[in-house]
A and B are shown apart, each in its own frame.
Chain A
Amino acid sequence: MKNWCQKDGQKPNEKYHYPQILLKNRKPDRILTLEEYRLDDGYAALEDTLKNLKPKEITQKIDEAGIRGRGGAGFPLGKKWLSIPDDAPFPRYFVVNCDEMEPGTFKDRVLLHTNPHNLIEAMIIAGYAISARKGFIFVRPSYETLSQILERELEIARQEGYLGENILGSGFSFDIVVHRSGGRYICGEATALLNAIQGKRPNPKQPPPYPTTRGMWDKPTVTNNVETIVWVPHVLRHGARWYKSLAATRTGEGTKLYCVSGKVNNPGCFELPMGTRLSEIIDVHAGGMIEGSEFKACIPGGASTRFLTRKYYDVEMDFDSFRMVGHRLGTAAIIVFDHKTCLVDATLNLMEFFARESCGWCTPCREGLPYICELLRKIENGDGKAEFVGILKEMSKFLWNSYCAFAPGAMSSLESLITYFEDEIFEHIWEKKCPFKV
């Protein structure tokens, strides 16, 4: 497969065509059936794996490919699997995080409405690799149709002998259930998610012990994001070198599902080489800014990442390129703001989101976020004072003292608002009104 972007002399319309792996079979109105997936070499990796590879060999291959977690943290998939000790007890559990509640993010929804069997095959292989007995797909309530599709397709896979006892005569037994969430943002946090599945109040839990040694019901549990785990059969079929070559940059790997929303002409989810420049994603794939709008800033990876300004418009969108410029790629869900949007108001909206979704377990998060909202609301409404900016700065550091990563994530937008748009905040304060409201 060729990466068209790196070839000169292509016709302009072909220049931006890239190999589609995860969204290859995207159809406007339906999923890819099991039969169609098989015609496209689906379940071939599973059959080959069960026949020819030992669990350790799979983990090794996955580790060599260097697949990094697409849920936001970028943690290597192979390393996570390897963190299960050899003598870890049984049963072991494999969990897929399809909570996807990060604002701006909808890639797993698009991916699974395209090809649910890719996930099912990947989960069975993962289950085999870590010797798990049962797999869980944790799905948020607003994706109820997806839960129903997954349950239907799991039953079809079961009928075909891919799930249940003694899969394809290999002696390996594994089954998968869909776990419906009651709906709270904190459930996307891996340890909170495991509490949720166990029917406990989903507060996060600080490691150690790590879930891979003592997870659900104190048994070893691995949790992976949908977009991460679906790579497993593809990488086993085509190899680590192929996977690496799909990226646009040396620091990237594979393709990435970029979600674009906000003030663009063509919002959507695009599968592009990892490391594709932000400018290309917005200008070409998302159809550019809507008429009369100029790019002001974006949040590049969901609500828990920092505002990215015009200065970084050409940044290559992979984990390391972002880290080098002091930002985080997160879920690569790009929320685009135009010059007519007030970023104080936008940050207030984000803080209200976090204040409402805080699980309330620890004080800095539970009390700090509403306080921040109050200060920002006053500024936005023209009742702000200059000293508020200092307090907000202090609070944005103070909330790092909270129990889990929720509040520090929430502080990304606030801290970057103060860093990059301090003038805009002071304009509200001096003029005693929001300059964006007529």
Chain B
Amino acid sequence: MISGELKEKLLKEILEAETPNEKAVDVMYELQKVYGWITDEAMSEASELLGMTLTELDELATFYNFLFREPVGKYVIHVCDSVVCWMNGYEVLLDHLKGRLGIGIGETTSDGLFTLLPVCCIGYCDRAPAMLINRRVHGNLTPEKIDTIIDQIRAKEQES
């Protein structure tokens, strides 16, 4: 269950909107932060907060690339596979990531840390090839650079 504090914050935002539906994606983003993905429990809570049916919400949750209706790792890696990153060697990087993490596209590492997903052009073509980790961009990627990023995340997680 979400905290009373978050519930209050969301209800306030919903009240300020033109209609509750306007806040549907925002509310689902917030619940995703709490649960890690949009669980059935999160869907019920969103439905109650927004006064929208589960079907109306699922129409959105299953449509968007950044809302997850299935469990994902703590760090979601979106690798851009559109034309500029493709041209600049995205396939080599993807193979490297797959090997390094030991997972394929759409899979999560057994420690629950990383999920690998494809994504269409993220608007960093001047720094291709590029990827997002939890919506933060990493550009001008090389296999070495990817190793450093993954190592840093793993080290940070071990500390905490």
Contact = CB atoms under 8 A, between A and B. Distances in A.
A76 to B, nearest CB: 26
Interface stretch (A23-31, A178-186, A399-407): A178-186
B123 A350 contact: no
Given A104-B83, A142-B137, A183-B64, A199 B19 contact: yes
Contacts of B84: 103-104, 261-262, 335
B123 A101 contact: yes
Given A104-B121, A349-B86, A259 B22 contact: no
A111 to B, nearest CB: 12
Interface in B74-95: 78, 81-84, 86-88
Contact of A140 (B67, B83, B123, B126): B123
Nearest to B61: A182
Contact of A106 (B29, B88, B126): B126
Interface string A118-144: 000000000000000010000011111
B141 interface: no
Given A182-B64, A202-B63, A103 B21 contact: no
A199 B121 CA distance: 24
Contact of B126 (A100, A217, A268): A268
A268 B63 CA distance: 31
A217 B128 CA distance: 39
A75 interface: no
B18 interface: yes
B134 to A, nearest CB: 9
Contact of A141 (B83, B86, B125, B135): B135
A156 interface: no
Interface in B36-82: 50, 52, 56, 59-60, 63-67, 78, 81-82
A219 to B, nearest CB: 9
A359 B25 CA distance: 17
B101 interface: no
A346 B125 contact: no
Interface residues of B, number: 43
A422 B129 CA distance: 29
B120 A180 contact: no
Contacts, number: 133
B147 interface: no
A201 B60 contact: yes
Interface residues of A, number: 53
A269 interface: yes
Contacts of A350: 83
B132 interface: yes
A317 interface: no
Given A104-B84, A346-B83, A199 B123 contact: no
B122 interface: yes
A143 B123 contact: yes
B24 interface: yes
Contact of B18 (A101, A182, A217): A217
A102 B19 contact: no
Contact of B19 (A106, A198, A333): A198
Nearest to B126: A267
A105 interface: yes
B26 interface: yes
Nearest to B58: A201
A262 B121 contact: no
A217 B20 CA distance: 12
Contact of B60 (A109, A199, A356): A199
Given A141-B66, A184-B63, A349-B83, A198 B21 contact: yes
Given A104-B125, A261-B84, 6 more contacts: A104-B84, A182-B29, A184-B63, A184-B65, A199-B60, A259-B125
**Pairs A-B, 6 closest by C-beta atoms:** A182-B64, A199-B21, A261-B125, A103-B121, A199-B24, A142-B122
Interface of A: 100-106, 109, 134, 140-145, 179-185, 196-202, 216-217, 259-263, 267-269, 299, 303, 333, 335, 337, 341, 346, 349-350, 352-353, 356-357, 359
25 contacts: A100-B123, A101-B123, A102-B121, A103-B83, A104-B83, A104-B125, A109-B124, A142-B119, A142-B122, A142-B123, A182-B29, A182-B64, A184-B64, A196-B25, A200-B21, A260-B126, A262-B87, A262-B88, A267-B128, A268-B126, A269-B126, A303-B121, A341-B87, A349-B83, A353-B121
